[in-house]
Amino acid sequence: MSKAQERRRAVEQAIQEHKAKKNKYIIAAVFWFLSSLYLYSIDEGFSDVYSLKPFVYFIVGPVFASIVFGNIMFFLQKIIEKGVINFLGSSAQHLVLPVISFIFFCALVGMFIVIFKFAELLQTII
């Protein structure tokens, strides 16, 4: 591989990592917003006009979730990718992408449940 190809590959990898970092914040904020919207709709005292709960859930919550849970998702994605590539790398290269996709989808579902339970816990505290 020539130096130009190596540099191009490094640039493409950096672009992909930047996209993943940007998307992790969006996904975490959307998960938080959906969880909060559901909790907001089922709790009668939650939507009081002078309550701090809506402010915490819809203004502070997505920012907090995107920073904390977004970073967790990003590092989890990297761990899944490296683990599957190390495990299946040379023996079954055609299975690497589907296995990574399936495991990461399961991790996203699990992360949604974690965010929902955290929002639910926060609701009982506030």
pTM: 0.74
**pLDDT digits over 76-113, tens only?**
888 988 888 888 877 877 888 888 889 989 998 998 99
Cα first-last separation, the chain: 58
Mean pLDDT for the chain overall: 82
Residue-range definition of the domain harbouring residue 16: 3-125
CA 42 to chain centre: 25
Any idea of the CA torsion for 4, 9, 10, 13, to the nearest 10 degrees? Answer: 160
**pLDDT digits over 44-71, tens only?**
665 565 667 777 777 888 888 888 888 8
Tell the residue number behind the tokens 């005292």, with chain if given.
Answer: 45
Domain count, the chain: 1
Any idea of the CA torsion for 93, 95, 97, 99, to the nearest 10 degrees? Answer: -140
